Every structure is written in structure tokens, then in C-alpha cells.
Amino acid sequence: MSEALRFLAEELEKLKAQGLFRLPRVVQGRQRARAVIDGREVVNLSSNNYLGLATHPRLQEAARRAVESHGVGSGAVRTIAGTQDLHQTLEEVLARFKRTEAVLVYQSGFTANAGTVAAILAPGDVVVSDELNHASIIDGCRLSRATIKVYPHADMEGLRQKLEEARRDVREGGRTLVVTDGVFSMDGDIAPLPDVVRIAREFGAITMVDDAHASGVLGDHGRGSVDHWGLHGQVDIQVGTLSKAVGVLGGYVAGSRTLIEYLLQRARPILFSTSHPPAVTAACIEAIHLMEESDELIRRLWENTRLFQAELRARGFDTGRSQTPITPVIVGEETKAMALSDQLFQEGVFAQGIAYPTVPRGKARVRAIVTAEHSQADLEEAVAAFARVGKRLGIIG
């Protein structure tokens, strides 16, 4: 290592001294409710595969057919020679599913957020963002070079105050964007979207919601938080992911045809990064078809969520403000949260420890996510392990 990079080793040593240094565990085989991770079979509570679609036979078959008909790669960015008929089909299917005029598919949910905010805002504009919004939104705000105003989490008076400030600070003819997660990824709570939309409208602001953890979870057949709240046509920009409940890879923006055509001309991830390979695109199409056909998997997901959270709370665990399958087990102390995660793994349960800077200091937790694929026996085994380790570490009495 060069002397110029010596500071990296020093930073790593600090993390190790704090008990926060982690290397990713390795999933050996399929991403399932029970999986083999680092050579140990465990109940997997760290996957975003909410509906279990990552291993669904219909998605696998769709991917195989696409490789045979279209090859393994798209070969170019969307705006040169990388738009295949499969991409157009996926966007049409998603637009129908989201009940919007059009959709543009990005390479990931991260690029969908960052690329969209950076494309529609410029210096002199203002973006008003919930303090717990995802890192991809934060990065998009910074890349746009717009003025950033952050309101306290889900605080509507705070939102109104920041919009009052934005009204004073925005350049003449400039734009103001209000952006929020639909479901917050670390706490599992649902944004008060009707109030966000109402207040934003009062100020003439653009509205944007990131539905990464609401897609396939909230709303009729998993259409997301806009559907959950009955706000179709009232949110200007909807961002979703294809990497979580959909079970594959990618992100998308849903909205008016004008918005989508503009992003196709200006969003840098679309202009400068190769499009989805055929197998991924075809599997995403099949996943949306499955979600449209039946809500059985979503019903099972919510049954498992209610069971798991009730059992944890009954044993004295603090699950915060979760309203969704994202279940934070709040510990507070960072080293103790990591110890809880490590000892759970030894007990046969994989639930990832989360600490600063992902969450604020003093708010460390183990984040557990149930899926539709978990059985009642899986969840009972996991809760029993939480109870044993929680008592051992003094987290519960």
C-alpha cells in the first residue's frame, strides 16, 4: 500500500477497535428464507426478497428464454443501441401496474433516485428532503447543486417551515422539490404521504416519493405507497425498485410521459451506463405479471410480519415505529447491537447489525426483515433465538 493511502488503514483500525468492522457474509446458493450463509444453514432475516420471487420458477424460466432469444447483454446505453424490445415491454408493464402514463427503467434504485433528482434540479433550485431519506436521494440532491433543506423526520410543521424558507431562497423562475421515502428503510415506518402532498401543493412544489421498500409491499397487489394512500395522479414522480420485492435487479421512475421523455434525454445513468441484460429484464416482466395475477404472496408477507413483530414485542424487544415488514430491534449501543447480530448467527439466525453512519449514534439496532417465504416454524425459531441472546446480553429481562 502506498504511503498516500496509509490513512485508510488507520481508519480501518478505528473501526476494528470500535467493534464495527465487518466484511460481508457470503450466501452460498439461493437467496431463500432458509439459506446457507458462510457455510451455516440459518433462518435468513436480512434479505429484501419480500415475496420470495428471487427463486420463483416462472422468473427463472423467463430469464432462460430471454438468454436464448436475446443473448446475455444489451451491448450499449439506452440512447445508442441499448434499448431492446424487452426494455420497452417492461416499461409498458410497469406503467400499467403503477397506473401512470409512462415509466423509465434504470440500472438500480440508487441510480433512479440520484439520476432523477440531479436531472430535474439545478443551482438556484431548492430540494426539501426528509432527514431519514435514503442515501441515493441525498446523493442526487448534492449532485444537482440545488439548495438542500432537510426537515425533521415525518414532521409536517417542519416541512411547512422549510418550504417557507424555500420560497424565499429559490431563484426567480426556479423549482422546489419535496422528496420523501414511502417506507423508511431503517425504521420501517410509512411516510404521511397525503400530508406531504397537500402541503407541497400549497407551495407549488414538485412531489417525489421513493417506493423502494413499498413496491410489492403496500397498496393493491403491491403497487406502492401512492396506491396505499389513494393518491394516484397527485404525486409527480414515483421511484421504485426491481431489486427487492420484485426479486431481480434495477429501478424505475414512473410519472407523466413528459417527465419520462425528459429523463431519457438528460438523466446521466441512462446516457452513460449500459442497460439491463435481457435475462434480468424478462425476469422483471414476469415478476410484475405474477404480482398482478394474485396478492396471495403479499397477504402471506403481512401475516408473517404481524406474527413476528407481536412475538418480539411480547418478549420485551423494542421494535421502534415499524409499520411494515422491516423490523428494527433497537439496541442503542453499537457494540452491543453487533454482538446481538453475531450471536444470533451462531444460534442459526442471520439478522444484520446496523450502526452509525447508517443510523444515528445511539440508535444502533439489528434489522430483521420477514418475507412471504418464511414458515411459522422459521419465525418461531428466530424469535426463540432473539430471546436467548437478548437475555444473555441484557437487552431484555
Which residues are the active-site residues? Answer: 185, 213, 244
Residue with cell 431548492: 126
The DSSP secondary structure of 226-266, one letter per residue, reads HHHTT-TTT-SEEEEESSSTT-S--EEEEE-HHHHHHHHHH
Closest CA to 284 of 337, 331, 245, 320: 245
CB atoms within 10 A of CB 197: 21
Q: How far is CA 350 from CA 39, 378, 382, in A?
A: 12, 12, 9
Rg (CA), the chain: 22
d(CA 196, CA 219): 18
Residue type, 242: L
Let me know: does 218 contact 183? Beta carbons within 8 Å.
yes
Per DSSP, helices labelled H in 267-357 are 268-272, 278-293, 296-314, 334-346
**Full strand arrangement of the beta sheet holding 206-210:** 102-106, 251-255, 237-241, 206-210, 176-181, 126-130, 147-151
Q: Could you tell me where the beta strands, DSSP code E, fall in the chain?
A: 34-37, 40-44, 102-106, 126-130, 147-151, 176-181, 206-210, 237-241, 251-255, 326-332, 349-350, 352-354, 364-369
d(CA 101, CA 91): 10
d(CA 218, CA 51): 12
Let me know: does 73 contact 281? Beta carbons within 8 Å.
no
Residue with cell 414458515: 375
Let me know: does 337 contact 366? Beta carbons within 8 Å.
yes
